[in-house]
Structure 1
Amino acid sequence: MVQLKSPLLRQIRRKPLTAIAPITLLVVLVFLFFRSSGSQKLRTYSYKSKKSGFFNHHRDVIPRNLPGDHISHYDLNKLASTPMAAYNKERVLILSPMSKFYNEYWQNILTLTYPRELIELGFIVPRTAEGDVALKKLEKAVKQVQTKDARFAKVTILRQDSESLASQKEKDRHALKVQKERRANMALARNSLLFTTLGPFTSWVLWLDSDIIETPHSLIEDLVSHDKPVISANCYQRYYDDEKKALSIRPYDFNNWVESDEGLKIAAGLEDDEIIVEGYAELATYRPLMAHFYDAKGDINTEMALDGVGGAAVLVKADVHRDGAMFPSFPFYHLIETEGFAKMVKRLGYEVFGLPNYLVFHFNE
């Protein structure tokens, strides 16, 4: 008979159940050792929910080992554009194509009373010598503001990738012969700026030309209070009247208009690639122009239904842009750029309005 000399073996023979636990532990350790040595290390992910973002419905999923990889959720059904925009903390995006930097324009922006933390700014600057100068001045102005506590929510500056007119002097850029080329380029610039900056938290888009140097400080609150899909201010210009020997004002933007029978008749006789531009004697459409309806004693909240708009100071509900309203760089019903935009807005089923007694002022060269 074989003798069990080992005390451990004698113990197992007398009480076999006492060996189950250590043997099981040993088997598990061996299994885990070989499994871990023969496989790659698994990545771990941290799922962090936070209440940042406009709707408190913004969830980031951030892998610890993959920096920058995330998923953002936005519920656009909860996004509103209301006449109480500031109270409801609605985000406003101010967009300005800029060929020249006017300090008066920038100072006017800084005096707007809408909460600055709810305002985003977007600019597009042409690749010209004047554009280079404007870019340097703009960047300097932005840095001075964005380093302070009262900063804008976001500022975006783009360089235009399409051609621009060589001369940006007022008499050159408003010549009739260059209007189709100029406005096509402007439409491309506006679309690039819009599609780059419009976010899922944007409620309103204010198109404000960079040569608009004077507006009411409450411009945004005033325009949103009308609660219209598209609404335009009336653009005038201050000048020195030699006859009266005093400062006076005159209409500047003639692109805010109501369609006329003559305008429709002219359009019907045009080739597909031809356009109508308003405000030129060579194209007498006899359209009622909002610029001529200004009443110094009238109510500034008086509304006027429009068929065409300019780009001086136009407030648009962001959903109008999201639904497809953009600035055609091609003849669209014989209209282009901002006037073509108004036509597209109406084709989408929205209404366009203007405020004939609500003035903003253009720089006078």
Structure 2
Amino acid sequence: MRSKGKKLYVLLCAGFVCFYFYFFQDNLKQTEVPNTALSRPTIIPTQDRMFKVVDKQGVRKTFKDYCTARGKFHQQTPLIQNSVVNNTSFFSVIKRNKLALESRKNPLDFVPPVPEKTRTDVVPYFRPEILDHYLLLPNKTYEDRIAILTPIRNADRVLRNYLDNLINLDYPHSLISVYFGEDGSSDNTFTTAAKLSKELTDIYEFRAASVFHFNISHNVSVQETQLLSRHVLRKQLERRSKMAKSRNLLVNMVLNISNPDYVIWIDADLECFPSDLIEQLLFARSDVTAPPCLGVYGGVKKMYDRNCWRETPASVESQSKLPEESLVVEGYSNSDRIYLADLKAEGRVVPLDGVGGCVLMVRAECHRKGLVFPEELFQRHIETEGLAKLAKQMGYSVNGLPWLEVFHGKT
């Protein structure tokens, strides 16, 4: 009897090991590589060039190449027939994770259905013909004046990369103005931003560029800026209130000295964004528009900014039970909402209830008519998510572009 029990135990253990390796082998390859092997070539998929062989130092370049080059691939190719799968019950959390991990080597030729709520932060790769269908741009002449607004603090180390991203934009530079709002830096952020602003106008022929100094946060050390502790939940109300105040100061100053048609908020610490970013945002024809912001970790795409979302009946019900003075923030526990990256099956432009600030476009007239970033709680939200709530109350459209992806750098 004891022998049979031991055999059963061994069989169960063996079955568990097989199950684990079957579903998570790709993840193990990424997380359990010995340090001595990190310099070996690794196959990293990109969305335009199916595979590239790069070393550890080349991973960043690969995804930057993707961002700057993807906008140049506008040829229309036929969409794979019946590419959107509607059977939601088939796509469990484990199934979604497995498909997303495997898509690094075999990009998906179909679009998974929208889940009832987001349960995984892994984002799959797709075949080029699907991407081309959802990212094709019309052949037209653009005339809209664009103001890019970028709040910065202790950002000296990322500003040169940010300049590279800006000058790679396809949109006519003569229609783009760039304004930095510097607050509380203790490094050379202001000086560097002023120097780069001059380069943008003198060398790269941008319409205008300048930097403003605020003193909302006073001097904050570089180390404190980079600490993950700034994301601690209990600090979010004060932190995001200051961010909202900085954004409102910057947009008010810019609207007083210029006359843009659209304001585009872009974080300076983004690793890269596509060269056709502005054209893609304008395609939405929306008052408030945002793409998903992702990170790349060991070749796996994951959601970085969890502020772009849509409410569900479950999320609305759970919020209705909270006191009015409660701050609702995403990314700190399981969510009852659907994140933007999970809405691809609905198409190219989808309605949202919350937006983030990594990249955010607002019709300038909306700001002029009183659309601000709430500095205090508004419908239990604040800053960018509060802006989305306020925009919808004012009757403005709030939409997301799930197929347009921007990538955040390491924090």
TM-score of the aligned structures, taking structure 2 as reference length: 0.61
Partner of 1:162: 216
Residue in 2 that maps onto 1:290? 340
Match of 1:68 in 2: none
1:84 shift after superposition = 8.7
More off after superposition, 106-115 vs 253-262: 253-262
Give the structure 2 partner of residue 310 of structure 1.
Answer: 356
Aligned partner letter, 1:279: G
Task: Tell me the distance in 2 between the aligned counterparts of 1:273 and 1:226.
Answer: 34
Instruction: Select between 107-116 and 191-200 the one with higher mean Cα deviation.
Output: 191-200
Q: Which amino acid aligns with 2:209?
A: V
Pick from 185, 191, 197: which aligns with 1:128?
A: 185
Tell me which protein shows more helix as a share of its residues: 2
1:179 is aligned to 2:236: yes
SS in 2 for 1:236: strand
| Contact 1:251–1:292 (CA under 8 A) maintained in structure 2 | no
Distance 2:139 2:242 in 1: 32
Give 1:318 deviation, angstroms.
1.1
Q: Spell out the pairing of 1:1-365 with structure 2 (5 A cutoff).
A: 87=141, 89-99=143-153, 100-101=155-156, 102=158, 103-129=160-186, 132-148=187-203, 150-163=204-217, 167-169=224-226, 171-199=228-256, 201-240=259-298, 247-281=299-333, 284-293=334-343, 302-365=348-411
Contact kept, 8 Å, 2:311 with 2:337, in 1: the verdict is yes
Deviation at 1:285, TM superposition (A): 4.3
Aligned equivalents of 1:265, 1:223: Cα separation in 2: 32
Q: Note the C-alpha offset of 1:274.
A: 2.4
Q: Taking structure 1 as reference, are residues 136 and 86 closer, same or farther at Cα in structure 2, changes over 3 Å only?
A: farther
User: Is the contact between residue 284 and residue 399 of structure 2 (CA under 8 Å) also seen in structure 1?
Assistant: no
| Cα distance between partner residues in 2 of 1:86 and 1:172 | 46
Separation (CA, whole Å) in 1 of partners of 2:289 and 2:262: 11
Whether the 8 Å contact between 1:96 and 1:123 is mirrored in structure 2 is yes
Unaligned residue ranges in structure 1 (runs of 5+)? 1-82, 241-246
Q: 1:286 Cα shift? A: 0.6
Query: How many Å separate the matches in 1 of 2:139 and 2:400?
Result: 19
Superposition RMSD on alpha carbons, in Å? 2.3
Distance 1:263 1:145 in 2: 44
User: 5+ residue gaps in structure 2?
Assistant: 1-136
- Tell me the distance in 2 between the aligned counterparts of 1:256 and 1:85: 29
* Contact 2:146/2:262 (8 A) holds in 1: yes
SS in 2 for 1:291: helix
TM-score, normalization: structure 1?
0.68
State the distance in 2 between where 1:156 and 1:138 align: 8
Structure 1 distance, partners of 2:269, 2:378, is 26
Q: 1:237 to 1:114 in 2, by over 3 A?
A: same
Question: Hey, what's the Cα distance between the residues in 1 that align with 2:358 and 2:403?
Answer: 15
The percentage of counterpart residues that share the same residue type is 31
Asked if the contact 2:294/2:303 (under 8 Å) is kept, the reply is: yes
For the 8 Å contact 1:105–1:211, the answer to whether it is kept is: yes
- Name which one, 1 or 2, has greater alpha-carbon Rg: 1
More strand by share: 1
Letter in 2 for 1:273: E
Question: Which moved further from structure 2: 154-163 or 85-94?
Answer: 85-94
Q: 1:361 to 1:170 in 2, by over 3 A?
A: farther
| Distance in structure 2 (CA, Å) of the matches to 1:226 and 1:125 | 30
